[in-house]
Amino acid sequence: MTYSILGRDRATGDVGAAVQSAWYSAGAGVLWVEAGIGAVATQAIGERAFGHLGLQMMTAGSAPTQVVASLVAGDVTPGVRQIGVIDLSTTPAAFTGSDCVPNAEHQPGADCVAQANMMTSPGVPEAMVAAFEAGAGDLTDRLLAALDAAQALGGDFRGMQSAGLVVRTGERGAPAWTTALVNVRVDDHREPLAELRRLAGLSRAYRNSNLSLERLASGDHSGAVEAARDLCSHVAGDLNARMRLGLTLAAGGDPEGAEILGAMAEQSGRWLAYARSLCLRYGIDPQPILDRLR
C-alpha cells in the first residue's frame, strides 16, 4: 500500500527517507532515520518495531543485509512484510514477502533503496532509483524526485492520501533534535506529494530563520540584511520574517527598518517585546535599535 525510498549523501553524511501511501499518516510508521547510522522502511503489513530494531542493529555494527536477514528470520509472518535498510557506506538491502499485494517489488541502488507494493504498474522501485541517481540538488531534492517518478507510473492503485520526508545530518549519537534538516509529514491530503514539496521548501527557509540575527551578532550587518531579505523572499507575507528584516535594518540605522518595526508596533507592542527578546538571545544590545523608533 506504499512506495518509499531510503537514500544517503556520502559527501555530506546526510541520510533520509521519503514515502507516499493511500493510507493515513504513512510517514509516522514507515520511516525511521537516525543521523550517523542510517534508515529503515517498514511497510506492506508493516511492523513498526522493525524500525527501532533495525536502527539498533546498525548502531551495534550490523550491515543492512544482516539487518534484513535478522528481521525476516525473527518474524512469524514475513510473507506480508516489506523492508528497506540503508546505512552510511555499505550496500543497501531490502526484502519483499511473497504475500505482499502486487505489484510488489524492491530495488537497491548505489546510494538508495526503493520498495513498493499495491502499485498500479510494475517497475516502480526501478523508476525511483533511476530518478534518485539522476537527480540534481541535495538529498531532499532527490528523494522528492523519486516519489514523483513512482507516482508518474500510477503509484498506489487506491490513490494518494499521505506522505512523509525525513533527512538527518550529524554524527552518531548526536541528539535527535539537532540533526533534522527536514522532518515533514502530510497525514491526510488530496495532493500529498505537492503538499510535501511545499512543506519541504518551507522547512529549508525556516531552518535559516535566525541566520540574520547570528550575522548581526557577529558584526556582519550587510550579511544580516541579506539573510533577512532572503528569508522574506521565501516566506512572503510572514510577519516573523518581516520583523527580522526590520530589526536588522534598524540596527544599521536604515529608516526602512524603523518604519517596518514602527508599523508592527502599531499593530501590537508585543512585536517590540519579541524583537527585544531575540536581541538578548543572540547577545545584541536592543536599546540602540529600539531608541531609533522613538
Integer Cα distance of 236 and 201 in angstroms: 13
Cβ neighbours of 91 (radius 10 Å) = 13
Same domain for 100 and 219, yes or no, is no
What is the grid cell recorded at 205?
527557509
Domain closes at, from 182, 207, 232: 207
Q: What percent of the chain is helix, strand and coil (3-state, nearest 5)?
A: 45, 20, 30
| Residue 156: per-residue pLDDT | 92
Same domain for 250 and 127, yes or no, is no
The end-to-end CA distance of the chain, in Å, is 61
Sheet holding 162-168, edge to edge: 105-108, 112-116, 2-9, 14-21, 162-168, 180-186
Same domain for 200 and 220, yes or no, is no
Same domain for 136 and 278, yes or no, is no
Same domain for 8 and 22, yes or no, is yes
Range of the domain at 233: 211-291
Q: Please answer whether residues 193 and 163 qualify as being in contact, where contact means their C-beta atoms are separated by less than 8 angstroms.
A: yes
Cβ neighbours of 202 (radius 10 Å) = 15
Q: How many domains does the chain have?
A: 2
| Residue 294: per-residue pLDDT | 66
Same domain for 80 and 222, yes or no, is no
Domain closes at, from 189, 207, 225: 207
CATH number of 165's domain: 3.60.20.10
Q: Please answer whether residues 51 and 33 qualify as being in contact, where contact means their C-beta atoms are separated by less than 8 angstroms.
A: no
pTM: 0.92
Domain closes at, from 207, 242, 265: 207
Same domain for 264 and 137, yes or no, is no
Same domain for 275 and 176, yes or no, is no
Q: Which contacts of 47-51 are long-range, i.e. CB under 8 A and separated by 24 or more positions?
A: 47/75, 47/81, 50/81, 50/83
Q: Please answer whether residues 241 and 231 qualify as being in contact, where contact means their C-beta atoms are separated by less than 8 angstroms.
A: yes
Same domain for 23 and 162, yes or no, is yes
Same domain for 134 and 197, yes or no, is yes
Same domain for 194 and 216, yes or no, is no
Per-residue pLDDT of the chain (294 residues; tens, 9 = 90+): 699 999 999 999 999 999 999 999 999 999 999 999 999 999 999 999 999 999 999 999 999 999 999 999 999 999 999 999 999 999 999 999 999 999 999 999 999 999 999 999 999 999 999 999 999 999 999 999 999 999 999 999 999 999 999 999 999 999 999 999 999 999 999 999 999 999 999 999 999 999 999 999 999 999 999 999 999 999 989 999 999 999 999 999 999 999 999 999 999 999 999 999 999 999 999 999 988 876
**Pairing mode, strands 31-34 and 162-168:** unpaired
Integer Cα distance of 112 and 43 in angstroms: 17
What is the grid cell recorded at 268?
501590537
Same domain for 90 and 152, yes or no, is yes
